[in-house]
Amino acid sequence: MLKASVIGATGYAGVELCRILLTHPQANIHRLSSVSFTGKAISEVYPALRGLCDERLVSEDEAIDGADVVFASLPAGLSEPIARKCLQAGALFIDLGADFRLHDPDTYESWYQKKYEDPELHGQAVYALPELFREEIEGARLIGNPGCYPTSVALGLAPALKGGLIGSEDLIIDAKSGATGAGRGLSQTTHFCECNEGFAPYKVACHRHTPEIEQTLSILAGEPAAVTFVPHLLPVSRGIVSTIYAKLKGGASLPEVRQRYLDFYESAPFVRVLPEGEVSNLRNVRCSNYCDISLHLDAHTGRLIVVSAIDNMVKGAAGQAVQNMNIALGLDETAGLLFVPPAI
């Protein structure tokens, strides 16, 4: 059995990793780390785990020692030294934060106000969206796990961009996320009284996921991509719905576009292209590693409308990280991830 450690285990993505790893057929939880709760059992922080996982929270170095794979779910700027220690120890390192997502150091500094301190380390990192970069992930030792919004957008647009059905300019992304996307730290906008029965955009045209979205779409299109990205906060705990608008080229019909998507994702176990006339709904992917995609055509404007729904904590974070672990280490890609979304 693989020994898997989680650093930042008491954050939302970290505890979701614990939940997934507890039922993984080929990996066991080795150690869990948390700066804020060192010495406590994780079940004291999250009582839902009582009797299922009562691991004591230890230091980062203790978590790395003896581990085969280390997941880190930390704020930007903290993962580089941990990654170096993991590589030196021979462990696979999977970063759920932003430190290994962006290829260009200047872009990272501009958006995160932090610098890459170890350029050689970044040269080894793989941006790991499994459905798009599977070959690069196989055998990788340092993985940058994609962000939640970029995952929903890239999966929603990949077949159309790679197939030349749409252009890479003037892409409009109207996305909505549950409150867990902001992390466990409390802020005024995620306070219950502010969020409940409210609905509003935030970080309009300046969200940190913008360059990551454009980076992936540019790779897919083979030319620079430009997006208008506006996220919104939904008064729900989890889930993302991205509604994406793009000008359709070449006069393709909706059935032809849908067939392109079906062919593109034929071997992708966690992407579900919905039947014509259905609309993706975050309810149907909640607590799962699935991405549901529905396709629509505005015949009046010639715009393709793609609706992409994921659970931001699973496919947008912890589930995708485990999917990447499975691929990198040669395991069954679906191992530990075949959750059935709750029907109600």
One domain, residues 238 and 104? no
Cβ neighbours for 116, distance < 8 A, ≥ 6 positions apart: 80, 105, 108, 109, 122
H or E, element range at 207: none
How many whole angstroms separate alpha carbon 279 and alpha carbon 307? 7
One domain, residues 217 and 111? no
One domain, residues 91 and 228? no
**144-186 pLDDT, tens digit each:** 999 999 999 999 999 999 999 999 988 999 999 998 876 776 6
Strand partners, 240: 177, 310
Return the pLDDT at 186.
62
Q: What is the pTM assigned to this prediction?
A: 0.96
Return the pLDDT at 179.
87
Residue 344 placed within a domain: no
One domain, residues 186 and 304? yes
Please report, to the nearest 10 degrees, the dihedral formed by the alpha carbons of residues 192, 198, 199, 200 taken in order. -80
304's tokens: 């393709």
One domain, residues 160 and 278? yes
Residue 46 placed within a domain: yes
One domain, residues 169 and 268? yes
Active site residue 53: no
Q: How many domains does the chain have?
A: 2
CATH assignment of the domain containing 159: 3.30.360.10
The answer to whether 92 and 141 are in contact (CB under 8 A) is: yes
One domain, residues 302 and 155? yes
> Three-state SS for 233?
strand
One domain, residues 110 and 153? no
**Maximum distance among all alpha carbons in the chain?**
62
Scanning the chain, the segments in alpha helix (DSSP H) are 12-21, 42-45, 60-64, 80-89, 105-112, 119-122, 130-137, 148-162, 192-195, 210-221, 254-264, 319-328
Residue 332 placed within a domain: no
One domain, residues 57 and 173? no
Residue 190 placed within a domain: yes
CATH assignment of the domain containing 88: 3.40.50.720
One domain, residues 54 and 172? no
One domain, residues 10 and 72? yes
How many whole angstroms separate alpha carbon 341 and alpha carbon 159? 25
Residue 320 placed within a domain: no
Burial 180-189 (b: 16+ CB within 10 A, else e): bbbeeeeeee
**Segments of the chain scoring below 50 in pLDDT:** none
One domain, residues 246 and 101? no
How many whole angstroms separate alpha carbon 45 and alpha carbon 13? 14
Active-site residue among 148, 195, 206, 287? 148
Question: Whole domain around residue 41: which residue ranges?
Answer: 2-124
203: left (phi over 0), alpha (psi -120 to 50) or beta: left
